[in-house]
Amino acid sequence: MDSGKLNENWNEVCNLVCGYEGVEPSQFKAFFYRLQPQAMSEGFLMLTTDNEFIKTWVERHYIELIRRALSQLHQGVPFMVAIEVDPSAAAAAGAVAAPQPSAASPFPAPVVSQPIQPAVPAAAPVAAQPDAYQPTDSPMPAAPVAEEPRSFPPLDFPTPGVTAAHAPIPEGPSSALTFENFVIGDSNRMAYSMAVNVAEQPGSTPLNPLFIYGKSGLGKTHLMFAIQNYIRETQPQLRTVYVDSSDLLADYMEAGAAHDKEKSSYKNFKTRYEEADVLLIDDIQYLQGKKQTLDIVFQIFNSLIGQRKQIILSADRAPKNIDIDERYHSRFSQGGTVDIQPPEIETKLGIVKSFIDEYKRNEGLDHFEVPQDIQMFIAESSSSNIRELKGAVTKVIYQMTVFQQTDLTVNDVRTLLENHFSGGASRNLSIEDIQKEVEAFYKVKHSEMVSKSRARSIAYPRQIAMYLCRQFLDMPFAAIGKKFDRDHSTVMHSVAQIEKMMQQNRDVQEEVENLKQIIREI
């Protein structure tokens, strides 16, 4: 079968699978991107993917549905489906190998992340790289100045399973947060892809360090634990260390307090992290202003990178927006830097469904269902914070099970969750509302606001409106851009421009604050 016909058949199969009951289209499409049809004959289909994780996941969750779709398309002929890992695909292209979809296909072409180099064989000596990774010239401080550690509420993670006898004792909390229960959408697909690549080949790709950033509750920590859990399962000989920046800071202060009694306290502090094969540091932005702790982190960072050991960092903002020395910016950004944007409605709906399915599995309630209109209401009403979304689902399930109110309506849920979602009235705002207020403020017609005009009297209010949409609404850049007849890059540029102007121009800052007040009162 020629490649064009093969890809056409594969697209038909995927369209059918997406329509089957219980299949979340966004989740399936994420794995479709990583599958490439190689050969097809009567009763047989060969697919390849670029890593073992995708192969195992598809075989576990989708293989029977793919066979069902093939049989449906070929008059009931039973099919055998084989999936193999193509090493050349993993080495040549880090993110995705997939057939080019036809024009009629609803599956968009995959977004390719940074190219991934072949993994360094375990036995191969690693050459030193003095030019690339110079250790800091900052001396080890004699004792740290008092730095207030940031307090965090305890995380509610399930108890980890028993570690294999031959494996090193893992450090940091284990959890049930895995790649398998991470809901994929347009807002997080690139971050997910990079995380999988790092988990497959820790320290052996250009994604070192991997820096994941985004607002709180979007899934950064989920991806970090997914990486850690996957490495523990597939490469138990590697030592993984997860630490929140507040715990790292507390460790450093503890080492300083013990320094007078035990001169090796600093050495022991560094050794814990420098002996890691994979080091994960969460919420790195909280180390800004903590110069001495950052100096130590910088030394650990250089030591691990020089040994080709993997570092994964997370923050609520991009490295360039963290108030730290420029040398940290350049180090943190030298590998893969990727953001997670607020989820689209489709992704939030997928997350709602996944929480409900998890509850059904845990409680053994196969026939329990939350009405579709209630699921959609939760997805549409919630902010981007996934923890808040899960809390809303939990409240609804509790009302239906504990109070046995199985006939809940959307109006009942609206009352139940009246004070649950953050953001107050802003959650009821639309892009159109913000456009209307900005147009009135600057005396601009709506037709001008969405026109192609670049006149400053039009372009400036348009940028202000885009900035305010980003501030008030948990929506991706692309979704905002559609309402202005622009693409996501234009919205990103506009937001950055207004942020810069607000720092430099007091008048712009006052205009924005006035508009914010007007919009809050809608």
> Which residues fall in the annotated binding site for ATP?
217, 219-221
Q: Residue 326 corresponds to which amino acid?
A: E
Whether the link from the prior residue into 461 is cis, omega within 30° of 0, is no
Tokens representing 68? 């069902």
Distance CA 80, CA 308 (A): 41
Q: What are phi and psi of 351, to 5 degrees?
A: -70, -40
Q: Helical H runs in 21-128?
A: 25-32, 52-61, 63-73, 87-92
- DSSP assignment of 96-107 equals ---PPPPTT-SS
Length of the chain: 522
Three-state DSSP state, 260: coil
Cβ atoms within 10 Å, residue 131: 6
Tokens representing 183? 């809901």
Q: Within 13 Å and on the Cβ side, how many CA atoms surround 315?
A: 21
Task: Determine which helix (DSSP H) or strand (DSSP E) holds 90, and give its type and residue range.
Answer: helix 87-92
Tokens 């004699």 belong to: 142
Return the bridge partners of 336, or none: 210
Return the bridge partners of 383, or none: none
Q: What are phi and psi of 480, to 5 degrees?
A: -65, -45
Tokens representing 184? 């994929």
Cβ atoms within 10 Å, residue 333: 14
Task: Determine which helix (DSSP H) or strand (DSSP E) holds 146, and give its type and residue range.
Answer: none
Distance CA 385, CA 389 (A): 6
Residue 78 to residues 19, 40, 45, 66, 67: CA-CA distances in angstroms? 20, 13, 11, 11, 7
Three-state DSSP state, 44: strand
Distance CA 495, CA 427 (A): 20
Distance CA 220, CA 348 (A): 15
What is the 3 state secondary structure string of 153-186? CCCCCCCCCCCCCCCCCCECCCCCCCCCCCCCCC
- Helices and strands: H and E segment counts in the chain: 21, 8
Q: What are phi and psi of 110, to 5 degrees?
A: -65, 150
Binding-site sequence positions? 217, 219-221
